[in-house]
Structure 1
């Protein structure tokens, strides 16, 4: 069997339409808009705060409407000339009137769509058993789908389980739990079954729905075909991430609130998110049929398995990228699994950062850049030499590179050069030096220097970045971070002093 193509190109629409996306600043919406544009649709977005679109590169390619679904403000204007509406709005708030507000917002959309003569409503809901007692959030999502299906405008309602992609709340919960704990005491919902689906394939279905020759009025289950327990999901994630085997121990903690608090304590996800998220995991989330295939066939290369979806989501990390930029020119669905600028701070691997900034008055980049590119080797690290020697000796003892490698040349660097236990990963002359650590440590580490000329002054930034692996990585950072409070400020200060000496010699 041929391998599934993870980079399937988005096909051009056979029926280009005018599409309104509600929820364009959210996880799915922010990834859907550029794919609709790529397919050839004319896209409008309705958002409560247009300022949130400032970080996305497609803002100038869409028509932006200020829409408040709480009272319907702006909805009528946004619906003018629209064929299809993608409704990707779902709040994770838990107020007393939450369900009523969600239903009212859906009803407002139904009325506005009917008044404007819209062709179709497209909605992404959640997989759930028909007979189960649903959590408040799952019940609300199901109710919204029912409102759309009962309207005079045809609606296609997709029901998906956990979505696998960097930034997805479910995926980030799995990631952080698996990263942090080798022995994982877990609530009893870890025995429930789930059918994960890659964000790449979720977007495939949403884009394809906008290209249907005739509107459809029905709910469809969508899934990858891989049925796992939540415990297996976390164990498999650890295996794919090359972590030591994870052991999940189910505990009798059926109360969703207790489970949500536990997840909130172990992961960086906020309690306001973990509580409703865990409540939605109390039942199986598995497709009941494959009826969707008769309306929208699977991608030509097939749906991604859970293993493939996780590997796709982690690909950028395995390449060693510290930060991910939106690739606006790419037409590949692979981009869907990558982080975006407006993803929440807890999305992606857990990162510890020591960030130092200084505005160096009356100093030129040409004075400080030679100091930065000469760091390491015989020139040292500009702070606490004994501490660096002790750390280098320890690294050597445990089988690492230590400080003995030095550097190729004393005053010049190129990508790939060793610098003691670091290696040059990126260098932009007179602007940026990025060093990747090759020392023995439970995680991935970088040291980054950037400089920019700001009038007569120079803006200097120095970052130590650490992505821990498991609990040992977190304990390592907790141990060394107190020393960083002395080492890294001294490094920045001494680099400035060396640059000042260069400036005086230049005069």
Structure 2
């Protein structure tokens, strides 16, 4: 293959795909990304250097158009978390494989899971990953499948499970699978192998096990995570009575990973996941400095988290349990019920100060009104199988379309003017929250804040839900608008005070040399 390979990346809005695409661009390849909504990649830093096309992996015509002229196609999608993910993933793989063959693609690269070995029922997650790999391999297009177990990196679902279980539970009662052997791998090493297979010339049609240098149990990983993170030693007691289902419910309550996603991940841990071959070295050399050990991979991930440098997170992928439709336009609402809560305030601060407060909302900052009420709503959502508030935010300052923000999804960002969030908590209807900034043309240094909550009910339960929470709107939404305005005014006051102090200091006469004031 030529040095500048024409590459298609599926799953570019997800955890691995969102990191792989910019690295392929850096390596000099021509990158095309296919996504159901191009808007979700609009704000990522590398979007201008890639070709973004819209397409649905379940539609043959979409895939034929996306794969036209492509040399290497990366298959990095799955519908884990949805109720019928095995059937959906099977159909998507079959559609993609057939379209790749017709388009004359030279290679498919697929990131799968470890091949389950031994006696016992295979988890649906690993069974589906194995089936997708088999479909792609049998497509007639040479296919390379990379089999990875637990991926250690800031933002991965497996790492988030490990991190939050260890940090929040100094004493744990764990199921028996906690002592199964696992060979984790650092996310940067996974990306190293993925990028390399855009250029390897051989027509390979096989799978490779990939893993780091350490073989550990999940118990070992929790102990070692605690040590690297500077935590006190954890007490871990294994019992034989905790089923994978019960374990997944516990993971869903303690960690940001919702139960619908935790269940298939936890079920996969009942199988040992170690490499049985290392043939990949004959085709791709290890990264400079060698493969990262577990402790180093954890340390690197924690640095990324502390420095707010998390590129992508598992929650960036589409949450299939939530509504995917954008906010309807006004004419489409005619004939249906739409409930609105609109708050507006004049703010004695410039629009820039108000916008800074708005874009910093959520995560550690919170929602500017009654934190306990927001926390209770998040806990309730987790109890009924929703995402809750624990997803937080990827970056403390920047937001881009498509990323998760607590139990919202960023649907639209108009810098300096509008932030629109779509609800992903469990609701009997669809909901949005809009935060809008408008400069005040009549008063210099002042602005207007508009906040609008929109709810479109579904059935009688939706109407009952809205009228049940209406009495709390003045407290929650009213307090939110009031406190956001105050935070912007405080920020503006501090900026003015800092500027005044700087001006006063710079305008002072120089102190004579040798005077007492100059000591």
TM-score by structure 2 length?
Answer: 0.63
Residue in structure 2 matched with residue 105 of structure 1 by the alignment: 92
Task: Judge conservation of contact 1:358–1:459 (CA < 8 Å) in 2.
Answer: no
List alignment gaps of at least 5 residues for structure 2.
318-342, 355-436, 450-478, 501-519
Is the Cα contact below 8 Å between 1:83 and 1:118 reproduced in 2? yes
The equivalent residue for 2:347 is: 361
Partner of 2:282: 294
Is residue 5 of structure 2 the alignment partner of residue 17 of structure 1? yes
Q: In the TM superposition, what whole-angstrom CA distance separates every residue of 1:9-52 from its partner, at most 9, and x where no partner exists?
A: xxxx9722000011111100000000000000000011112121
Aligned to 2:383: none
Contact 1:128 1:283 in 2 (8 A): no
Match of 1:170 among 146, 158, 162: 158
Bigger mean CA offset, 194-203 vs 184-193: 184-193
- 1:4-43 map, 5 Å: 15-43=3-31
Mapped partners of 2:106, 2:489: distance in 1: 63
Instruction: Give per-residue Cα distances to partners, 1:265-284, cap 9 Å, x unaligned.
Output: 11122111111111111111
Match of 1:27, SS? coil
Q: How does 1:130-145 map to 2 (within 5 A)?
A: 130-132=117-119, 133-145=121-133
Partner of 1:210: 198
SS at match of 1:55: coil
1:194 aligns to what?
A: 182
1:124 to 104, 108, 111: 111
Counterparts of 2:161 and 2:269 in 1: how far apart (Å)? 12
2:269 and 2:226 map into 1 onto residues whose CA distance is: 20
Give the secondary-structure state (helix, strand or coil) at the position aligned to 1:176.
helix
Kindly indicate whether the alpha-carbon contact (under 8 Å) linking 1:155 and 1:217 is maintained by their aligned counterparts in 2: yes
1:263-302 alignment, distance < 5 Å: 263-302=251-290
Give how far 1:241 is off: 0.5
1:196-225: per-residue Cα shift (whole Å, max 9, x none)?
100000000000011102221100000012
Is contact 1:156-1:216 (8 Å) kept?
A: yes
**1:415-494 matched pairs, under 5 angstroms:** 456-458=444-446, 492=486
* Paired residue secondary structure (1:158): strand
Work out the CA distance in 2 between the residues paired with 1:256 and 1:221: 25
| Distance (Å, rounded) in 2 between the aligned partners of 1:106 and 1:38 | 28
Match of 1:340 among 304, 312, 319: 312
How far apart are 1:58 and its partner, in Å?
1.3
Distance 1:460-1:309 versus aligned 2 partners, 3 A rule: farther
What SS does structure 2 have at the residue aligned with 1:261?
A: helix
Question: 2:389 corresponds to which residue?
Answer: none
- What is the rounded CA distance, in whole Å, between the counterparts of 1:457 and 1:317 in structure 2? 35
Q: In structure 1, what is the Cα distance between the partners aligned to 2:47 and 2:219?
A: 40
The question of whether the paired residues in 1 share the 8 Å contact of 2:5 and 2:30 is answered with: yes
Alpha-carbon spacing, 1:362–1:14, altered in 2? closer, same or farther (3 Å) = same
Deviation at 1:248, TM superposition (A): 1.1
CA RMSD of aligned residues (A): 3.7
Tell me how far apart the structure 2 counterparts of residues 14 and 298 of structure 1 sit (CA, whole Å).
22
Residues 353, 491 of structure 2: 8 Å contact kept: no
Matches within 5 A, 1:305-316: 305-316=293-304
Matched, 1:70 2:42: no
* 1:99-146: CA deviation from partner (whole Å, max 9, x where unpaired): 232122111111111111110000000013334531111100001111
Deviation at 1:55, TM superposition (A): 2.9
- Secondary structure at the aligned position of 2:201 is classed as coil
Rate the CA distance shift 1:458–1:204 in 2: closer, same or farther, 3 A.
farther
Contact 2:155 2:314 in 1 (8 A): no
**C-alpha separation between the residues in 1 aligned to 2:490 and 2:81?**
48
Q: 1:83 to 1:249 in 2, by over 3 A?
A: same
Question: Residues 490 and 263 (structure 1 numbering): CA distance in 2 closer, same or farther, change over 3 Å?
Answer: closer
Q: Deviations over 1:233-256 (max 9, x none)?
A: 111111100011111111223421
Instruction: State the shift of 1:492 in Å.
Output: 4.2
1:261 corresponds to 2:252: no
1:452–1:458 contact (8 Å) kept in structure 2: no
Aligned twin of 2:423: none
1:414-467 deviation per Cα after TM superposition (whole angstroms, max 9, x unaligned): xxxxxxxxxxxxxxxxxxxxxxxxxxxxxxxxxxxxx99775344699xxxxxx
Question: How many residues of Structure 1 are paired with residues of Structure 2 in the alignment?
Answer: 361
Contact 1:24/1:45 (<8 A) preserved:
yes
Contact 2:13 2:316 in 1 (8 A): no
SS of residue in 1 equivalent to 2:144: strand
Distance in 2, Cα, partners of 1:251 & 1:300 = 42
Preserved CA contact (<8 Å) 1:194 1:284 = yes
2:221 pairs, out of 226, 233, 239, with: 233
Matched with 1:148 is 136
Deviation at 1:499, TM superposition (A): 5.1
The residue that corresponds to 1:157 in the other structure is: 145
Which region of structure 1 is more displaced relative to structure 2, 125-134 or 178-187?
A: 125-134
CA contact under 8 A between 1:25 and 1:342: conserved in structure 2?
Answer: no
Taking the aligned partners of 1:180 and 1:258, their CA distance within structure 2 comes to 18
Aligned to 2:457: none
